[in-house]
């Protein structure tokens, strides 16, 4: 988000205007921009880059994916990082941070069982941080170096993210 100061300011304004207590998870869940920003951050920076795998059940003789026969004993990996940048699903600018496309109500049909808990955590922590601090990239930080530092070890590891955090002057 620090690369998109206008989104950051809009989100801070939404939080300031709503004046919802940080522990009011139900109230925070009703804030459209907060939810859209969280969804977009998770889309572009998923915790698990490998995603999930599928293999035809033993004894099935294989299975079909998109009209292609997957032989029995073959594992197919669906990489989250690539899927979340698919232009068929997210448009020509799928590689860009654009929370607005979540505001139309599109959520998809498959969800992680821990997603509601994780979203509630983010809905609590993000508003607290944004209501108390301003965020800006540290001079000389290069976003592409951060992208290049991402590695996969069942969960993503990310390189340094130097950020200057200062108390908000408007409080």
**Each residue's pLDDT expressed in tens, for the chain with a length of 171 residues:** 788 999 999 999 999 999 888 888 899 999 999 999 998 988 888 877 677 788 899 999 999 988 899 999 999 888 888 888 888 888 888 899 989 878 865 554 445 556 777 788 888 888 889 888 999 889 988 887 877 777 665 566 778 889 999 998 876
Q: What is the pLDDT of residue 113?
A: 52
* HSE, side-chain direction, 13 A CA sphere, residue 120: 8
- Planar angle of CA 133, 96, 107, nearest 5 degrees: 85
Q: What is the pLDDT of residue 71?
A: 95
DSSP state of 85: T
Q: What is the pLDDT of residue 109?
A: 42
In the block, residue with structure tokens 């698919």:
86
Q: Which residues contact 72 (CB under 8 A, 6 or more apart)?
A: 56, 58, 59, 60, 61, 62
The rounded distance, in Å, linking the Cα atoms of 160 and 54 is 33
Strand-pairing partners, residue 166, are 134
Q: What is the pLDDT of residue 33?
A: 95
Q: What is the pLDDT of residue 61?
A: 93
The rounded distance, in Å, linking the Cα atoms of 135 and 159 is 18
The rounded distance, in Å, linking the Cα atoms of 63 and 70 is 5
């Amino acid at each position: 988000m620090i690369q998109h100061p206008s989104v950051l300011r809009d989100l801070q304004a939404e939080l300031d205007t709503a004046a919802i207590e940080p522990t009011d998870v139900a109230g925070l869940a009703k804030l459209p921009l907060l939810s859209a920003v969280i969804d977009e951050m998770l889309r572009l920076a998923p915790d698990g880059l490998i995603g999930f795998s599928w293999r035809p059940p033993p004894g099935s003789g294989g299975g079909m994916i998109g009209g292609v026969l997957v032989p029995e004993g073959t594992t197919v990996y669906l990489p989250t990082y690539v899927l979340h940048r698919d232009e068929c699903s997210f448009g020509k600018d799928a590689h860009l941070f654009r929370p607005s496309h979540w505001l139309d109500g599109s959520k998809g049909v498959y969800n992680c069982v821990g997603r509601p808990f994780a979203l509630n955590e983010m809905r609590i922590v993000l508003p607290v941080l944004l209501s108390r601090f301003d965020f800006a990239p540290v001079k000389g930080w290069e976003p592409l170096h951060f992208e290049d530092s991402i590695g996969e070890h069942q969960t993503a590891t990310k390189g340094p993210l130097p950020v200057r955090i200062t108390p908000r002057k408007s409080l």
